[in-house]
Structure 1
């Protein structure tokens, strides 16, 4: 008998075909495990057992050993690793110091700018001339357009932000955010100043006077805020220069608003009679009521009740209180910048020369003194010695004093 036949017979004898029966709920199932399948399983179990025995013997009977060369290599790796850690630590320290220094520089700049903005805001708040109450009433109803006399429409002059130190990772996003907030504050401050200037300018235009001849609007003056922090130093950067220029632009806009508002605040724009009234004779050519001849009326006549209160049409100083030929009892008030208002044909004078009056102060009563045909107020306005139409001032005043 051959070796193959003997082996086959041994396998058939050792691993005969087996049937496994399983009964559940009256149902019988069976599984067949063939000789080949049993041989494969036996081989697998034997291989795993041998590997386990070999591994266990290696651990138990073979002492651990590391070659000198491998040991030296590991030591070198550890030394390099320690050196890298030290180098990284030194680099981190130097970067931290650099960042701290630049952050301190950035915060110093921001603090300087904050101080400048505070000074500008204080100037805006504390300047009584820029009190917005003078423009309340119907002032908001005026459609404000750029003056036709200006070459370019008025608009915000904010500079485009320049990227630099404040936009780098060194200064942090918070510093950049504060810088942006400061720029936004300047924008809002300039916008508010521009609104005041435009509103005042629009009302002044309604008076139909030549504003180019007004010294307050044409003569230059000093800045409203201190610019002492604008000097160059070692901390100065392109952003500092841009910020300083932006501050100067906003300060100029505030000065413009202050000048227009100051002029508007002092003009005789209020009604000169303290009760309801009517205009009985306009400014310009008319038939003289006494001579019945054509003539020029240099003011307007306002009718109301006898002894109706006559009030100052604007703040100023009384420069005359007495009688004038043809006018009867007269009060003249100097409002500054060449503007004078005259109140004539009064019955009583209730002020005296040198008095400082505010808008609405009682200065007399309506009468018919002088060259007059009945009780009324003859009202005139002078600009640099020349008479102007008071009706235009009353129209403009409706946007300032009437609600």
Structure 2
């Protein structure tokens, strides 16, 4: 109570009762300004001042933000202007070289021929890369379908075509390598563990670590040599991954047989209790062909408890596949088999309720989901 009384006295001292007299036409009128009315007026004035301050601050923030955005736009525009100016300067330099004298024209023509030889070396390495021909045909077609009567323009267009073809080759090789790496990961495998450290390509294109040394070997300018080298590395990665994928069990173990049971926990057909099913089942007719899902060496043939007649293939690097419940076996231990080669005929031997193939994939002694390998194989074939 004392605190409230002190607050009330302080307010009365700050806003004492005031009397306002207004004289109009000989008449005198008096107004009483109570402390409450004075506090209300002061509140209105303070609120207006606060609103004015907030509005002013917001306006200043907008002004500074707009200035920062304008500066960023200006920097971006300047960067692109420099890039365009650099490209234009290169084009002007090439045209100036062509127009200067016949000697310089001959030198530029020789330079283009050397670039062409380096590019041909790269494209030769890509000949056996699946999908390369389809990917590069549009770039080659564009280069051949742009004739020009002006010899200066013709030479310059050859240079531009070389640049476009090199870009197309690099983009294709990098894209294929990335797609193959993703296929390995889909199968639960680490790509680097299945690719030789030395890569798939040899020769000066990727052995020269210094672009200047490669430029000297190919007799081209250093910038073009560096781009050739980067593209060659991407081609090398793609070819190495292609070769590794061809050694893996990415194919189906049957031609057109439907999948009838998946990998994982299911109800056992004999005990009617949940149990781990360590492979995939494919239904089919009696003696339907069962083929190797990948190249390898036959590691075992014969009877295994519960599996009946079995063929097991070792694909190297800890990878094995098992083909069970066979009626007949068509290979022998130690025999080397190719992908798609017939290894037996479908049956119902062992712990089986009907004719089918039970297919397993093992990595370092552990059963894996074979469906991951089948999906990875389909993904690789889509890129071919």
- TM-score bracket, shorter-length normalisation: 0.5 to 0.7
Q: Superposition pairs for residues 140-159 of structure 1, below 5 Å?
A: none
1:21 is aligned to none
Q: CA RMSD in A?
A: 3.8
2:118 is aligned to 116
1:393 is aligned to 373
CA contact (8 A) 1:298 1:387 kept: yes
Matched, 1:286 2:266: yes
Gap change, CA 1:386 and 1:238, over 3 Å in 2:
same
Residue of structure 2 aligned with 1:252, choices 233, 247, 251:
233
User: Which runs of 5 or more residues in structure 1 are unaligned?
Assistant: 1-94, 136-170
1:211 is aligned to 190
Residue of structure 2 aligned with 1:365, choices 345, 356, 364:
345
1:274 is aligned to 255
In 1, Cα distance between the equivalents of 2:204 and 2:314? 32
1:309 is aligned to 289
Q: Secondary structure at the match of 1:394?
A: helix
1:56 is aligned to none
Gap change, CA 1:132 and 1:329, over 3 Å in 2:
farther
In 1, Cα distance between the equivalents of 2:373 and 2:318? 15
Q: Secondary structure at the match of 2:355?
A: coil
Cα offsets for 1:91-149 (capped at 9, x unmatched): xxxx99x9555445434433332222112111110x3xx2239x9xxxxxxxxxxxxxx
In 2, Cα distance between the equivalents of 1:222 and 1:278? 36
Gap change, CA 1:102 and 1:386, over 3 Å in 2:
farther
In 2, Cα distance between the equivalents of 1:338 and 1:101? 63
CA contact (8 A) 2:114 2:218 kept: no
2:108 is aligned to 106
* CA displacement at 1:313 relative to structure 2: 1.9
Gap change, CA 1:255 and 1:284, over 3 Å in 2:
same
Matched, 1:182 2:184: no
* CA displacement at 1:283 relative to structure 2: 1.4
CA contact (8 A) 1:270 1:401 kept: no
Q: Which portions of structure 1, spanning 4 or more consecutive aligned residues, are displaced by more than 6 angstroms?
A: 233-239
* CA displacement at 1:292 relative to structure 2: 4.7
- Larger Rg: 1 or 2? 1
In 1, Cα distance between the equivalents of 2:259 and 2:315? 24
CA contact (8 A) 2:111 2:220 kept: no
Q: Secondary structure at the match of 1:332?
A: strand
Q: Secondary structure at the match of 1:106?
A: helix
* CA displacement at 1:186 relative to structure 2: 0.6
* CA displacement at 1:256 relative to structure 2: 2.3
Q: Secondary structure at the match of 2:158?
A: helix
Residue of structure 1 aligned with 2:358, choices 372, 375, 378:
378
In 2, Cα distance between the equivalents of 1:354 and 1:205? 30
In 2, Cα distance between the equivalents of 1:400 and 1:198? 11
In 2, Cα distance between the equivalents of 1:174 and 1:183? 14
* CA displacement at 1:240 relative to structure 2: 1.1
| TM norm structure 1 | 0.56
Q: Secondary structure at the match of 2:285?
A: coil
Q: Superposition pairs for residues 2-401 of structure 1, below 5 Å?
A: 99=101, 102-125=104-127, 127=128, 130-132=129-131, 174-207=154-187, 209-211=188-190, 214-217=192-195, 219-221=197-199, 223-227=201-205, 232=213, 240-280=221-261, 282-399=262-379
In 2, Cα distance between the equivalents of 1:263 and 1:206? 15
In 2, Cα distance between the equivalents of 1:233 and 1:367? 60
Aligned length: 266
Cα offsets for 1:271-291 (capped at 9, x unmatched): 2123432323x2122344445
| TM norm structure 2 | 0.58
Higher relative contact order (CA 8 A, sep 6+): 1
Q: Secondary structure at the match of 1:306?
A: coil
In 2, Cα distance between the equivalents of 1:312 and 1:232? 46
Gap change, CA 1:235 and 1:332, over 3 Å in 2:
closer
